[in-house]
Chains A and B, each alone.
Chain A
Amino acid sequence: MDIIISNSVKDPIYHQIIKQIKELVLTGKLSEGDSLPSIRQLAKDLQVSVITTKRAYEELESDGFIVSIVGKGSFIASQNQELLKERRLKIIEEKLIEIIEESKLVQLSKEELMEMILILYGDDLK
């Protein structure tokens, strides 16, 4: 498992940890039952404070990405594939809304926008 922390970006460190572990799960590099380093081990390896990694794990846990078992450590939780897909669809939906609003700002018609999407989507598929 690789986690790369940047000290020069605005994003707080605990957030960077959360983002990267989620990414590892979504891309399938980490799967159900895989064990994660302990909070204190990760803090030592990344040279950050214990509270930082603790906070990251706590949020991952409340988001259902990991489970922590006292005395055993933290593991990747079973991921409900349907749920994951649903979450991703929601993200796409939100981004589309953003695009539509932007389009309205410059008075782009529905047809023109659709055309644009068709062209771009088609190009990607080639």
Chain B
Amino acid sequence: MTNVVEFNNVKKSFKNFSLDDVSFSIKKGFVTGFIGANGAGKSTTIKLLMKLLRKDSGNITIFGLDQDKHNQEIKERIGFVYDENCFYDTLSIRELRKIIAPMYQKWNDNLFYKYLDQFSLPEKQPIKNFSKGMKMKMAILFAISHDPEFIIMDEPTSGLDPVFRREVLELLHEIMLDDQKTIFFSTHITTDLDRIADYITYIHKGKILFSKEREELLTEYGIVKGSNDLLDRDTVKEFVSIRKTNVGFEALTSCVKKTKDIFGDEVLIEKPSLEDIMYYTNKGDLKCTL
């Protein structure tokens, strides 16, 4: 399996936040979901990927090409959807098309009008009159009309209603019918990932905690519930973090098998959701499980 993107020991420091030695890869032909709490470094990572920020050290390759040396060639093959409107909002879609289309050698008008029709967007209205959902559809429209191999999206579904989120996911599924396509998108609506993501990359406080197959992740991790009597100095160490109440504890384990060996039938072990994993890793002291 080939990688579309490889981050090797990438560092980027700001005054009060830094990306620390970030290494991970994105597999070709699959959908990778990028999750993490607010301020964990998702947008910074995506900006580095798009070369909108300059990295301090390390290297990034995209399509096997060095990002610094082949910037233009790489950009030609990428479709990018940003989380806020970055178009001139007094213009209409028709006017924007005239500006954007010539930038790409592989711009495909057939594709553009097909999606325009599919999204039922008005072509002549200034986009400042668009609803949030329409703006997002338009951003996607402009991102995929040059038939990119690799689509990067920063929170494409945040702030949108469930009907529209389903539509976006349906579109992504349609794109993934082609096994040459790759999608990387950040989100904190983890239920969206259940329907489409093959891989999950999790960033926490500027560090990549893991980058794994989603199914595998959900079988390795488990939510453990049981009586407080079971917790002592040794058993506590087995968990990522614990939520203790008067009526028992609930905890996250990163190794269901080991937990079963230790506690046997004394505890209830459930399949976690991605949200559970995010909540408990945020709560606890973190160890890298990459």
In the bound complex, residues from chain A placing their C-beta under 8 Å from that of B198 are 49-51
B126 to chain A, nearest CB (A): 35
Give the docked Cα–Cα distance between A123 and B213 (Å): 50
Count B-side interface residues using an 8 Å CB cutoff.
21
Q: How far is the CA of A49 from the CA of B30 in the complex (A)?
A: 8
Q: How close is B99's CB to chain A, nearest CB, in angstroms?
A: 33
Determine the distance from Cα of A51 to Cα of B194 in the docked complex, in whole angstroms.
12
Interface check A126, CB cutoff 8 A: no
Known: A47-B169, A47-B195, A48-B195. A14 touches B176 (CB 8 A): no
Query: Which residues of A have CB within 8 Å of B197?
Result: 49
Contact B213 A47 (CB under 8 A): no
Can you name the residue of chain B whose Cβ is closest to the Cβ of A52? Answer: B215
Residues in A32-87 with C-beta less than 8 Å from chain B:
38, 40-41, 43-44, 47-52, 55
User: Which chain B positions have C-beta within 8 A of A44?
Assistant: 173-174, 176-177
Pair A51/B215 contact, Cβ less than 8 Å? yes
- Nearest Cβ distance between residue A34 and chain B, in whole angstroms? 21
Closest residue on chain A to residue B169 by CB atoms? A47
Whether A14 lies near B215 (C-beta < 8 A) is yes
Chain A window 80-109, contacts with chain B (Cβ cutoff 8 Å), 1 for yes, 0 for no: 000000000000000000000000000000
Contact of B214 among A43, A47, A51 (CB under 8 A): A51
Partner of A43, one of B176, B178, B199, B213: B176
Determine the interface band of chain A, counting residues with CB < 8 A from chain B: 10 to 19
| Contact partners of A50 in chain B: CB under 8 A | 29-31, 176, 198
- How far, in angstroms, from A10 to B29 measured CA to CA in the complex? 28
Q: In the bound complex, what is the Cα–Cα distance between A50 and B31 (angstroms)?
A: 8
Task: State which residues 155-182 of B face A: CB under 8 Å.
Answer: 169-170, 173-174, 176-179
Shortest CB distance A6–B (Å): 14
Q: Which of chain A's residues have a CB closer than 8 A to the CB of B213?
A: 51
Name the one of B170, B177, B214 contacting A41, with C-beta atoms under 8 angstroms: B177
Report yes or no: B31 in contact with A49, Cβ–Cβ below 8 A.
yes
Contact (A10, B271) CB under 8 Å given A49-B197, A49-B198: yes
Residues of B within 8 A of A49 (CB): 30-31, 195-198, 214-215
Chain A residues within an 8 Å CB radius of B179: 40
User: In the complex, what residue of chain A is closest to B216 when comparing beta carbons?
Assistant: A51
Q: Which residues of A have CB within 8 Å of B170?
A: 47
Residue picked from A12, A43, A51, most chain B C-beta under 10 Å = A51
Interface residues of B in 18-62 (CB under 8 A from A): 29-31
Give, as a whole number of angstroms, the nearest-CB distance from B203 to chain A: 20
Q: How far is the CB of B169 from chain A (nearest CB, A)?
A: 7
**CB nearest to A7 among chain B residues:** B194
Q: A12-B219, A49-B215 are in contact. List 19 more A-B contacts (CB 8 A).
A: A14-B215, A38-B177, A40-B177, A40-B178, A41-B177, A43-B173, A44-B174, A44-B176, A44-B177, A47-B170, A47-B195, A48-B195, A48-B196, A49-B30, A49-B214, A50-B29, A50-B30, A50-B31, A51-B213
Q: Which of B's residues lie within 8 Å of A, judged by CB?
A: 29-31, 169-170, 173-174, 176-179, 195-199, 213-215, 219, 271
25 contacts between A and B (CB under 8 A): A12-B215, A12-B219, A14-B215, A40-B176, A40-B177, A41-B177, A43-B176, A44-B173, A44-B177, A47-B170, A47-B196, A48-B195, A48-B196, A49-B30, A49-B195, A49-B196, A49-B197, A50-B29, A50-B30, A50-B176, A50-B198, A51-B30, A51-B215, A52-B215, A55-B215
Give the 7 A-B residue pairs with the shortest CB-CB distance, closest first. Answer: A44-B173, A51-B198, A49-B198, A40-B177, A47-B195, A50-B198, A49-B196
